[in-house]
Structure 1
Amino acid sequence: MSHPIIIIGSGLAGYNLAREFRKLDQITPLTIIAEDSADFYSKPMLSNALAGKKTAASLMMKSARKMAEELNAAILPFAEVVGIDIANQQVLLIDGAALVYQDLILALGADQIYLPLGGNAGDDVISVNNLQEYAEFAAKLPELKTVGILGAGLIGCEFANDLLALGIKPIVLDLAGWPLSRLLPETAGHYLAAQLTAAGVEFHFGVAAQNYDHMEGRYLLGLNDGSIIEVGMLLSAIGLRPRIHLAESAGLKVNRGIVVDQTLQTSQPHIYALGDCAEVMGLNLPFVMPIMHCARALAATLAGTPTPVKYPAMPVQIKTPACPTVVAPPAPGAQGQWQVSPVEGGIDARFVGARGELLGFALLGAATKEKQALTGQLPAVLA
């Protein structure tokens, strides 16, 4: 019997790759290594699960045992990988096991970034980056009236909107001057802030958290402008850091993420990466659609047909029902300017190049109905 293809990671990237591969190859042994229970769930659903009254148990779609049966795969839950022996094509586990691979795929995901905070409650800052953390987060909410959120990016805004469904006041802080500052032009950002504020979100822009203290049963958040805000708990949503340590320690090329070419191969033959941990031709895109395109392309490559991944235009739907928002950011370094047009009940913002070509857009409120028409005019993200 041939050595297995080994996938490290049981998130959307790892499991979707396994599913796509099994459509093409039902015979090659397949092993999936997970640091957690390896139960299948959709991580993007964590940031809007409260409004749907979802528990951690109901978010879990299939058990690891069921996934193993469906994929005809060996699944190793709660297994810690401590190294990769490239010369001998082995994955090294903390229990001393050495698993030989035919091909190795790194689907490691990303970790929430935490700010270094002064005060005595720094260890009480939470994140919601997996199902267990969601369970712990949700269990604390019935007793709370407010939740502080560090970061007004995509995840911060989605959690803020979701908390409103429980009657909890989100207090969101960000150094930028408006929410989704990396995705929206200023006018559109202010419109989003106004709509979320009207729904019950409290924003503090242009400030940073400095201290977090627990005193006499209260959590106090000290800001760099000298003000102090009381919160029921503090959620970190300032961004994700791709998990590159395993690859880096094995001598693979890394940058922001694990560097891969258009076939998703790393700097070493027989080792690939996809998902939040991967940097594909300079692009690190922690969204569902890039993962799906990568999974299909890499599955074909692993099944014997080398296939470069291609990214079409992939607008991102922000899960903020108080102000529906769709963004298709222009490529990094794209030359052009935003043209922002208020419409009845929304904002239509288009990033236009020097020749008048559409290079990106941001649609808010009623303007989101233009999504399909405008997407067809955008260039491919990766051709």
Structure 2
Amino acid sequence: MNTTIIGSGVAAWTLVRELRKADPEAEIRLITADSGDFYSKPMLSNALASGKTAESLVMTPAAKFAEQQKVELVPNATVSAVDSESRRLTSSAGEFSYDNLVLALGADTIKLPIEGDGASDVISVNDLNDYAEFRKLLDGKKEVAVLGAGLIGCEFANDLLKADIHTTVFDLADRPLARLLPEQASIFMQNKLAEKGVSWKLGRTINSIEKNGAGYTLTDSIGETTQADLVLSAVGLKPRTELAKNAGITVARGIVVNSLGQTSNNNIYALGDCAEYLGKFVLPYIMPVMQAARAMAQTLAGKPTEIKFPAMPVSIKTPDCPAVVNPPLPEHVGEWEITADENGVKALFKGKDGALLGMALLGEASKERQALTPQLPAMI
């Protein structure tokens, strides 16, 4: 049985490793649009302060990983079509047949509709090559505008500060991390990073970016202008679904999968940032990838195993304001109970029966993660 995996991020390589454990004789092929070198994508938003280059972020070269795991590696190849009936795919490296196909395609950065002759120069950091280009462009720069005050935007803002680069963060929301944190916790994060030098311009969007000598002039929706040497977009990700959609597979926000990770075609699976689990969850974090890969490997090895997601709090990599968050699910009914002082915020979302349904821990309170996590409900 041949399992072909398209992609080479953490999702793809974790599945390779887990499938090899589950089935030492499995025939595994991995097709990737880049070199396939293994690295941890979450490290991209906090690598500057530690002086990491793109090369030093590589944990295992693809050729070595493929040799260790007995994988047929097809690097630098783009898959253009999947024929689910004949179980064949077409790529720039030729046609390949498969018994089971896993789409670990990742996600693309969202592009904002911004006017101006500098809009095309906005950079996003979504992979190792992007990070290498980002580092190169940062040389000699002192002012960076960050578009997006979500998790990645806040992490980059803090990381740039540590690299002695001032940041101004823009967002339509009136506070950072508005989708993840209750208001009091958001304001705590905002103030802590402001104390260290981050400038916030919230409750607005960017209308235009114009080139201005070696830098840029940003004009926002309330008419203010801001000067920057470089503009970084961190407004979010959009799962890559086009290949699946063109193959007749059901997609919504992501590629829809069932509890086994199967798409609407039982021989095609989806994993990682491109997957939408049970038509409910798109989870662009490491822990869900690990959980799903372990279960999927068992299924691919002939032992159908449902994907289960326990509570998986997310650590926000902002060293000037450590934070851990596990938001309540949309269907949860309850209220936030918040205690705060100058050292931290402990926000617990509790149901009517007092059960812990979500949490946000900032500053000193983040140290309570281990004690509180077992009290949280599983996702699925």
* Residue 164, structure 1, aligned to residue 153, structure 2: no
For residues 245-284 of structure 1, what are the structure 2 equivalents within 5 Å? 245-281=242-278, 282-284=280-282
TM-superposition CA deviations, 1:43-78 (whole Å, max 9, x none): 110000011110001001111110110110111111
Q: How far 1:109 sits from its partner (Å)?
A: 0.4
Counterpart in 2 of 1:136?
A: 133
1:62 aligned residue (60, 63, 77): 60
Counterpart in 2 of 1:194?
A: 191
TM-superposition CA deviations, 1:321-355 (whole Å, max 9, x none): 00000001111232111111114510000111121
For residues 44-83 of structure 1, what are the structure 2 equivalents within 5 Å? 44-83=42-81
CA contact (8 A) 2:214 2:229 kept: no
User: Which amino acid letter does the alignment assign opposite residue 349 of structure 2?
Assistant: F
Counterpart in 2 of 1:320?
A: 318
Q: Distance in 2 between matches of 1:218 and 1:138?
A: 16
SS in 1 for 2:186: helix
1:176 aligned residue (169, 173, 179): 173
User: Which amino acid letter does the alignment assign opposite residue 122 of structure 1?
Assistant: A
CA contact (8 A) 2:148 2:169 kept: yes
2:203 aligned residue (184, 187, 206): 206
User: Which amino acid letter does the alignment assign opposite residue 79 of structure 2?
Assistant: V
CA contact (8 A) 2:215 2:230 kept: no
Distance 1:209 1:252, change over 3 A: same
Counterpart in 2 of 1:122?
A: 119
Q: Distance in 1 between matches of 2:20 and 2:190?
A: 45
CA contact (8 A) 1:81 1:92 kept: yes
CA contact (8 A) 1:108 1:243 kept: yes
Q: State percent identity of aligned pairs.
A: 50
Q: Distance in 2 between matches of 1:305 and 1:334?
A: 33
Counterpart in 1 of 2:13?
A: 15
TM-superposition CA deviations, 1:209-238 (whole Å, max 9, x none): 010110233311110101110011111100
SS in 1 for 2:325: strand
User: Which amino acid letter does the alignment assign opposite residue 103 of structure 1?
Assistant: N
TM-superposition CA deviations, 1:146-185 (whole Å, max 9, x none): 1100000000000000001111001100111111100000
TM-superposition CA deviations, 1:104-131 (whole Å, max 9, x none): 0000000110101110011100000000
Q: Distance in 2 between matches of 1:326 and 1:89?
A: 43
* Residue 239, structure 1, aligned to residue 236, structure 2: yes
Q: Distance in 1 between matches of 2:365 and 2:282?
A: 28
Counterpart in 2 of 1:229?
A: 226
Counterpart in 2 of 1:113?
A: 110
Q: Which runs of 5+ in 1 are unaligned?
A: none
Q: Which runs of 5+ in 2 are unaligned?
A: none
CA contact (8 A) 2:88 2:98 kept: yes
CA contact (8 A) 1:68 1:75 kept: yes
CA contact (8 A) 1:344 1:366 kept: no
Counterpart in 2 of 1:379?
A: 377
Q: How far 1:23 sits from its partner (Å)?
A: 0.7
Counterpart in 1 of 2:290?
A: 292
SS in 2 for 1:176: coil
Q: Distance in 2 between matches of 1:76 and 1:15?
A: 13
Q: Distance in 1 between matches of 2:74 and 2:45?
A: 27
User: Which amino acid letter does the alignment assign opposite residue 262 of structure 1?
Assistant: S
For residues 3-42 of structure 1, what are the structure 2 equivalents within 5 Å? 4-42=2-40
Q: Distance in 1 between matches of 2:36 and 2:215?
A: 36
CA contact (8 A) 1:211 1:223 kept: yes
Q: How far 1:31 sits from its partner (Å)?
A: 0.5
User: Which amino acid letter does the alignment assign opposite residue 22 of structure 1?
Assistant: R
Q: Distance in 1 between matches of 2:142 and 2:50?
A: 19
Q: TM-score, normalised by structure 1?
A: 0.97
Counterpart in 1 of 2:335?
A: 337
Q: TM-score, normalised by structure 2?
A: 0.98
1:363 aligned residue (361, 364, 372): 361
Q: Distance in 2 between matches of 1:224 and 1:13?
A: 38
Q: Distance in 2 between matches of 1:124 and 1:218?
A: 10
* Residue 99, structure 1, aligned to residue 96, structure 2: yes
Deviation larger for 331-340 or 168-177: 331-340
TM-superposition CA deviations, 1:275-330 (whole Å, max 9, x none): 00000111111000000000100000001100001011100000000000000111
The root-mean-square deviation of aligned C-alpha atoms, in Å, is 0.9
SS in 2 for 1:143: coil
Q: Distance in 2 between matches of 1:341 and 1:216?
A: 48
CA contact (8 A) 1:343 1:367 kept: no
